[in-house]
Structures are given as structure tokens and as C-alpha cells.
Amino acid sequence: MDGPLNPPPVPVGTFRSFGPVGPKYVVGQPTHALDDGDWMVSITVLDTGEQVEYRRTHLLADPLAT
């Protein structure tokens, strides 16, 4: 069961983009659970090298980068 100590599966190492034409990013590790049951995941934006946290539900909705 997923919970605060057991993160759900995350496609670590995959390349995705913010929407069909947005910047590309690489998916990192889950960082922490949110009160609504979602998880924050570390991502790295490829164009800038910026490391930020992004909601798991949002990254799963983003397309794989081509």
C-alpha cells in the first residue's frame, strides 16, 4: 500500500515534456507525500539544469519526450 513511507511507482530516469511542446525534463525520485495523497517528485529541466519538485500526477499526465 502506498503511503507516507511507501511511495508509489515513479518512472525514474524517463524523459518527459511539459505538455506536447513544452520543455523536456528527466524524472527523479519521489521526495515526499502530500496531504491529498499525491507525491512530489524531483525533476531536472534539461534546458536549464534546474532541479525542482513536481506533482507525480502531473508528470504521469505529461507525454514522453521525443
8-63 pLDDT tens trace: 999 999 999 999 999 999 999 999 999 999 999 999 999 999 999 999 999 999 99
Answer yes or no: is 34 within a domain. Answer: yes
Q: Please give the tally of structural domains in the chain.
A: 1
Answer yes or no: is 45 within a domain. Answer: yes
Position 4, amino acid: P
Answer yes or no: is 5 within a domain. Answer: no
- How far is the C-alpha of 59 from the C-alpha of 34, rounded, in Å? 15
Residue 40 backbone dihedrals phi, psi, to 5 degrees: -90, 140
Answer yes or no: is 4 within a domain. Answer: no
Structural domain containing residue 27: 15-61
pTM for the model: 0.90
